[in-house]
Amino acid sequence: MIHMVHVNMSISKGVNEIPFFCGIVRYMLEYYEIIIRLFLSLVLGMILGVERVYAGKTAGLRTFALVSLGSTLFIILSEQVIARYAYDIDPLRVAAGLVTAIGFLGAGMIIFRDDHVSNLTTAAGVWLASAIGAAVGFGQYLEAIFTTLLVLFTFTFMWDIEYFLKVRFKKTKRFSRRRKDKRNKV
């Protein structure tokens, strides 16, 4: 999947050779690895978006897929630039920038009306779609897939658990119609 690039102590002589920088051996991704990462990121984001469409939210399939895909591409680009040009930078800085940028996107989704907050779960889901995309971008496939499953569990089954707890503790006025219209827009 990843091959080690030949390291030359002097100048770069070819496409597959990069200069040795600060004693660190650099890695270049193969093209098929990049395609796998991008495709997996798109699919995992789409899976999260399908549930949000089912829940009747405006941020759905395309939004989650694009956020996840964009995060993966930023991580791949940072890894490739570091490997190709031997910059001595930390690729986690790009991931930190993604956390901030997606935080702004999520903040724009949250709506306050009177004493009610809506779209908070969707905003958190978009933030997690970005994290899943970053994990795929770093090649952490198992972590990304398992996190996608956990988010799906949170979006679906925890809805019923939350409803049960609110009914049990009599804290529900908006959730009382949930069984009639499948998904309430809370």
Residue 109 banded pLDDT, cuts 50, 70, 90: confident
User: Does residue 178 surpass a pLDDT of 60?
Assistant: no
Contact 112, 16 (CB under 8 A): no
Q: How far apart are CA 15 and CA 109, in angstroms?
A: 44
Q: Residue 44's pLDDT is what?
A: 92
- pTM beyond 0.85, yes or no: no
C-alpha neighbours within 13 Å on the C-beta side of residue 80: 13
User: Does residue 172 surpass a pLDDT of 90?
Assistant: no
Q: How far apart are CA 34 and CA 22, in angstroms?
A: 26
Question: Could you tell me the sign of the dihedral formed by the alpha carbons of 45, 50, 53, 55, in that order?
Answer: negative
Q: How far apart are CA 37 and CA 153, in angstroms?
A: 23
DSSP 85-149: H-----THHHHHHHHHHHHHHHHHH-EEETTEEESHHHHHHHHHHHHHHHHHHTT-HHHHHHHHH
User: Does residue 184 surpass a pLDDT of 60?
Assistant: no
Across the chain, mean pLDDT equals 75
Residue 106 banded pLDDT, cuts 50, 70, 90: confident
Structure tokens given for 33: 């690895």
Mean pLDDT of the 59-67 span: 84
User: Does residue 88 surpass a pLDDT of 80?
Assistant: no
**For the chain, which residues make up each domain, given as ranges?**
30-177
The percent helix, strand, coil of the chain (3-state, each to 5) is 60, 10, 25
Mean pLDDT of the 49-71 span: 84
Q: How far apart are CA 124 and CA 120, in angstroms?
A: 6
In the chain, pLDDT over 70 holds for what percent of residues?
A: 73
In 3D space, the residue among 124, 74, 69, 63 whose CA is nearest the CA of residue 98 turns out to be 74
User: Does residue 18 surpass a pLDDT of 60?
Assistant: no
Q: Residue 149's pLDDT is what?
A: 93
User: Does residue 25 surpass a pLDDT of 60?
Assistant: no
| Most confident option among 75-79, 85-89, 113-117 | 75-79
Q: Residue 119's pLDDT is what?
A: 82
Mean pLDDT of the 138-150 span: 91
Q: Residue 42's pLDDT is what?
A: 92
The alpha carbons of the chain give a radius of gyration, in whole angstroms, of 21
Mean pLDDT of the 76-98 span: 77
